[in-house]
Amino acid sequence: MKIVGVEFWPVTMALREPYAIAYETVSQTVNIFIRLETKEGLVGYGCAAPDEGVCGESVDQSLTALNQSKDLLLGANPLRYAQILQDLNKTMKTASAAKAGVDMALFDLIGKRAGLPIYQMFGGFRTRIKTSVTIGILPMEKTLAVAKNFLDQGFLALKMKGGKDLEDDIARVAAVRKLVGPGFELRFDANQGYTVEQALAFVEAIRPWEIELFEQPTPKNQPGLLGQVTDQVHLPVMADESLLSLLDAFHIAKNGLADMVNIKLMKVGGLDEAFSINSVACAAGLECMVGCMDEAGLAIAAGLHFTLARPNVCYADLDGAMDLLDDPSAQAVILRKGYLYPTNRPGLGFDLEEPLKMVVS
């Protein structure tokens, strides 16, 4: 095979309802859709969702990196994806989301060439996975209303955001636990908002309310603090913003900084790197979650295929597309009663109709 066409275009999507986390409020997102066409007529699609707060990558930086990469992609054989991805480090070293989008499109082509969904090609461990849905930082009454709405829709796991106000976080967790009842999966993400002392106080205070895991309580630029929390609490502690690369995964594993890791394709540069990070985590006895940014359905599909392929990736937080308006790839995954399913078509399982395409060249 040979790539003869490279196109990409940004799409702005509003959120049905803005949400707040510890360090920002989000009301819309921009994703960049990527199209690779081969001489044989196969077309592969990918999606980049740059996030300056998490990846340090703006939309303009993603577009620049994609422009600089066109010559590397044109004429390349997508079946040699390892060589292509290595070459892309020259132009995408600081553009992990852009690289993730190209990586997805390459794997989409490979799956279509093989006639298989990606998750079946790389292990096929499971055929569906439960996903959590997120409740941002909201007043108590609104928090409970959102939680009740998710329950009514059949979701089986909730992730609450916090990190701004310790006492408020504790009160909201207690109230949501009383609403959902015992045994329901409840997760909490502080998004780097706590000191070590606050994190320890939070975990002790919510002990009766039995949360499943505690995500990124402390600042990512001080990894030792995350390790201090991990060493002193009874709950599993998950690294998220602290994990941006394979080297980060090795550092977290070697130094025992967390019990779990949240692998996001946009942070690490795509499926190929995610599989490597998962191998490190598996060797160190760390369970993995696949998370997401505010990503269109096509990018969520890539995260889903990764989750389904490997036994060690046993948690999913793939709700990034659920609140997006005018997502051209909204049907790329199937949601039923709190579980995500692939379409089971070859590759990522979805082809864009491209009605909004504004080709950048």
User: How much is the pLDDT for 23?
Assistant: 66
In this predicted structure, what is the pLDDT of residue 359? 43
pLDDT of the residue at 356: 46
Active site includes 240? yes
Q: What is the pLDDT of residues 130-169, one digit of tens each?
A: 999 999 999 999 999 999 999 999 999 999 999 999 999 9
- 161 is an active site residue: yes
Which of 112, 159, 161, 267 does the annotation list as catalytic? Answer: 161
Edge to edge, the sheet with strand 25-38 lists 3-20, 25-38, 43-48
Q: What is the DSSP string of 333-355?
A: EEEETTEEEE--SSBTS-----T
pLDDT at residue 336 above 60? yes
* CA distance linking residue 353 with residue 335, whole number of Å: 21
- Whether the CB-CB separation of 323 and 153 falls below 8 Å is answered with no
Q: Is the pLDDT of residue 361 over 50?
A: no
Residue range 285-308: mean pLDDT, rounded: 97
Q: Give the sheet arrangement for strand 237-239, strand by strand.
A: 133-135, 157-161, 185-189, 213-215, 237-239, 260-263, 287-290, 313-316
Catalytic pick among 240, 248, 259, 295 = 240
> How would residue 124 be classed by pLDDT, with cut points 50, 70 and 90?
very high
Give pLDDT, residue 108: 98
Whether residue 264 lies in the annotated active site: yes
pLDDT, tens digit, 9 for 90 and up, residues 234-285: 999 999 999 999 999 999 999 999 999 999 999 999 999 999 999 999 999 9
Q: Which of 103, 185, 215, 323 is catalytic?
A: 215
Q: Give the residue-averaged pLDDT of 330-343.
A: 97
Q: Which of 99, 159, 264, 267 is catalytic?
A: 264
Question: At residue 341, does pLDDT exceed 50?
Answer: yes
Q: Which domains does the chain have, with CATH numbers?
A: 3-116 (3.30.390.10), 120-342 (3.20.20.120)
Q: In the chain, what percentage of residues exceed pLDDT 70?
A: 97
Residue 43 per-residue DSSP state: E
Residues in CB range of 142: below 8 A, 6 or more apart: none
pTM: 0.94
**How does the average pLDDT of the chain come out, rounded?**
94
Contacts of 154 (CB under 8 A, 6+ apart): 336, 337, 338
pLDDT at 21: 74
Say whether 39 is catalytic: no
Span 209-217, mean pLDDT? Answer: 96
CA angle (336 as vertex; 333, 340 as ends), nearest 5? 40
Give the whole-angstrom CA distance, residue 31 versus residue 178.
37
How do residues 224-240 score in pLDDT, each as one tens digit? 999 999 999 999 999 99
Strands 339-342 and 129-130: antiparallel
Residue 272 and residue 108: Cα distance in Å, rounded?
A: 12
Q: What is the pLDDT of residues 63-122, one digit of tens each?
A: 999 999 999 999 999 999 999 999 999 899 999 999 999 999 999 999 999 999 999 999
Catalytic residue among 189, 273, 323, 327: 189
